[in-house]
Structure 1
């Protein structure tokens, strides 16, 4: 790449300039460091050399920064530069002096900050110029905005100071307490809400012209801050206020401050109550989970102590239902952001893994996988979903792979229009409806229709069985 650049420099210089071989070699030495210069300064850099006629210059090398956005969309090597558009470059050619931070237009019409330094050859003759350009269009835009903001601030200051001296234009019925104080911190204006604040919080008669800090001594430090805008929460007599201090400036001189008090006491109290409720709800969820696990432990203990063989299957089913509900609360407690939302895929995965991998299935190898978008459901409905999924996966484990050495279960969650669809597929022997539905399928049907306002279908296919559960997003309180 460097060799190609060197060849380009030599070719352009030989075709368009009167530079000697030694001069061209000097230009090539600078080109070797061109990319490093561009990266270091986060700017586009170029080398221009004057043509034989000395009327124009030609770009013989360039480098765009890899550390910042390039000013140019297209390469400019081989293009001519004209004095009309590049006065700084030709100034350096004529005088041998550098120019820094000159505002110019790029060849693509962008506003740039341009610096030019000469490249000296034999006897310090200028043989080229090293040019650095940075895009300043955004900087100029921000400066324009700042200027407009400064003008607006001056206008506001004049209005507010005039309001303190004459008739106020701010409505007297405004709820916030407003003060205008001069640079010596003396009150020049206050609205009725501000006067009431003084009477209520300070138990003193309000007096215009009095020091603001005589009423609010704990705010003296904030009042003396030089910042144009200060926003802080402050305590006044066990009440919480948001205090805004806006500097009033006229002709670049500080003329005082505009102070606004907003009572946040009720808002902060509600936030505190909400925090207490959140902690209480979390504690309730924790206790429910512990109680369910206690019941599960009692069932396991009973099973270990011995139960009739024909009852064992019912104990296992009941145990799995209890643990499925407990899974809902485990996920809620693991979610630090929202104490009442349960992510569906995580819930289904937890239940499925418990049913498939925690027990020996008479020597069968059963695998299960899950897929679907990240969707959340409220905890009260998550309990119903957990029971439904428990029954469907348990049904696959118990009945789908009779006389088969291995089996595969797939659970797919889909978001369809304004509903959630859950598909539970297996590659087993296929579904055969019984004259009397099992308790598990009755639970599924009841939960879906009554709790989730959805519908349920199960059918056999050439590849096994597919159970489909669908329920609306709105009733489920789902969020993305």
Structure 2
């Protein structure tokens, strides 16, 4: 299905500001449909001949959640001529909302059609069709009468060119819905109607009296647990009554939380009060707090694990310095380096908000430790190229260990004698499906009898195990074309 922006760009010559206005209107689709108990169709005039009567293209369609739809099939992309829908053409000329005198039958349904001109900066740029399914008769109730009255005011404001405004763009997409709770307020702030859900929301906040007839700014001030927050909500309501749309605001009281949004109602420029939408989000905020608490706990665990691992690494370093046996000292130093590498991963996780690790940052911390492996007097340089990016925590620890072991092998076996100069490069290349890391050195190269599968060293055994079982990748070690050795690590990303 084509998007609103695509259809407008393809079939109209509307300016960028006019297109933005229609997109803002589309963000309020659900509010208008639910209040009207009707489908809303957005029609734009399309013509290639200035002398011919325009025909109309439907570029957007919204269905109500409060009533049966008038159009089960998607109407986007459909067309109508002035003969088929004469009210559309008339709305372009006199900017007046119109209703057909007699209902029409459409695919076995009785439908009442109305049109609302969409005015922007004094010019009609589109027409809203409001189609109501009359097949299911509705008993007039206070709720239905209130909803339709508010819908009538908002539609008149669309014809006036005063709704929606630029401030409504983001609010419409995340606003409480009509079914969450609706309050109709008079021009002086008195509650004229409150839906059952809205009344329940204010009762949970702590208001025990009847809501209808009360002054809503006073009610919100009294139920708000925070006086500053209460003053902010009162100011928001006063602004809406004065004609200024307000952003969503939260009110907390008696352990309950509600989201409130106020829309001014000024049909034909006459103050008519405000529409206040209310949604009880107590359970949502409770879960948010629980998640925040759990997230803080996980970060604290990573922080403590990092501290403990650093302590273990420091103890291993001290023990290595006190050991006289060269082989034992080397084993303790390698163990210290491995533990310190894992500690760096946990340090990164302690600062992460989504359990992902920036591999490049961790490697930047590991490489200085690798310099300890360079023999005194040797001029071997370590460098990184490219970016490995961020990876999930489950992949980060084994990957960092694999890279450090491969770099350690390159330093130890590629430059076995003192006063040897050269370089070891870590080259990272990442695509949507794979992470490739090459460790390239220009050292002594591989012996003729080398076999990765039969290599007896502990480091390569650790590498093979981690690559196969933890990373699900592949590793190859071969002579480099320019001399030295190249270890190629391939890690699939698509199955993660």
TM-score by length of 1: 0.60
Q: Match for 1:396 among 410, 413, 417?
A: 410
Shift of 1:150: 13
Q: Match for 2:381 among 364, 367, 370?
A: 367
Q: Within the alignment, does 1:467 sit opposite 2:483 as a pair?
A: no
Gap runs ≥5 in structure 1: 1-142, 156-161
CA separation in 2, counterparts of 1:363 and 1:398?
14
What's the counterpart of residue 114 of structure 1? none
Change (3 A) 1:150 1:184: farther
Shift of 1:145: 3.1
CA separation in 2, counterparts of 1:309 and 1:347?
29
Shift of 1:166: 3.5
CA separation in 1, counterparts of 2:180 and 2:144?
20
Contact kept, 8 Å, 1:247 with 1:256, in 2: the verdict is: yes
Change (3 A) 1:427 1:177: same
What's the counterpart of residue 294 of structure 2? 277
CA separation in 2, counterparts of 1:339 and 1:166?
48
What's the counterpart of residue 422 of structure 2? 407
Q: Within the alignment, does 1:176 sit opposite 2:180 as a pair?
A: yes
CA separation in 2, counterparts of 1:240 and 1:444?
52
Q: Within the alignment, does 1:438 sit opposite 2:457 as a pair?
A: yes
Contact kept, 8 Å, 1:282 with 1:339, in 2: the verdict is: no
Shift of 1:220: 4.8
Contact kept, 8 Å, 1:187 with 1:212, in 2: the verdict is: yes
Shift of 1:243: 1.0
Q: Match for 1:145 among 107, 120, 124?
A: 120
Contact kept, 8 Å, 1:425 with 1:465, in 2: the verdict is: yes
TM-score by length of 2: 0.58
Contact kept, 8 Å, 1:391 with 1:440, in 2: the verdict is: yes
Structure with more contact order per residue of length (Cα contacts < 8 Å, sep ≥ 6): 2
Q: Match for 2:366 among 323, 326, 351?
A: 351
Change (3 A) 1:210 1:304: closer
Shift of 1:371: 0.9
Give SS of 1:230's match: coil
CA separation in 2, counterparts of 1:199 and 1:300?
64
Contact kept, 8 Å, 2:356 with 2:390, in 1: the verdict is: yes
Shift of 1:419: 0.7
Write out aligned runs for 1:222-241 (5 A): 222-225=236-239, 226-231=242-247, 232-241=249-258
Give SS of 2:430's match: strand
Gap runs ≥5 in structure 2: 1-117, 131-140, 152-176, 223-232
CA RMSD of aligned residues (A): 3.3
Shift of 1:192: 2.0
Q: Deviations over 1:129-159 (max 9, x none)?
A: xxxxxxxxxxxxxx96355799999x9xxxx
Shift of 1:213: 5.0
Q: Deviations over 1:303-336 (max 9, x none)?
A: 2322422322211211111111122123334x4x
Shift of 1:390: 1.2
What's the counterpart of residue 444 of structure 2? 429
Contact kept, 8 Å, 1:345 with 1:413, in 2: the verdict is: no
What's the counterpart of residue 450 of structure 1? 469
Shift of 1:164: 7.5
Change (3 A) 1:148 1:285: farther
Shift of 1:193: 1.2
What's the counterpart of residue 250 of structure 1? 267
Contact kept, 8 Å, 2:181 with 2:278, in 1: the verdict is: yes
Change (3 A) 1:179 1:412: same
What's the counterpart of residue 25 of structure 1? none
Q: Within the alignment, does 1:338 sit opposite 2:353 as a pair?
A: yes
Q: Deviations over 1:368-393 (max 9, x none)?
A: 11111351012231110111011100
Give SS of 2:246's match: strand
CA separation in 2, counterparts of 1:470 and 1:305?
40
Give SS of 2:377's match: coil
Q: Within the alignment, does 1:387 sit opposite 2:401 as a pair?
A: yes
Q: Match for 2:344 among 300, 303, 327?
A: 327
What's the counterpart of residue 192 of structure 2? 188
Change (3 A) 1:176 1:414: same
Contact kept, 8 Å, 2:432 with 2:494, in 1: the verdict is: no
Shift of 1:470: 0.6
| Bigger Rg over Cα | 1
Shift of 1:207: 6.2
Equivalent pairs, count: 323
What's the counterpart of residue 314 of structure 1? 331
Q: Within the alignment, does 1:261 sit opposite 2:278 as a pair?
A: yes
Contact kept, 8 Å, 1:188 with 1:208, in 2: the verdict is: yes
Contact kept, 8 Å, 1:164 with 1:188, in 2: the verdict is: no
Give SS of 1:255's match: coil
Write out aligned runs for 1:52-131 (5 A): none
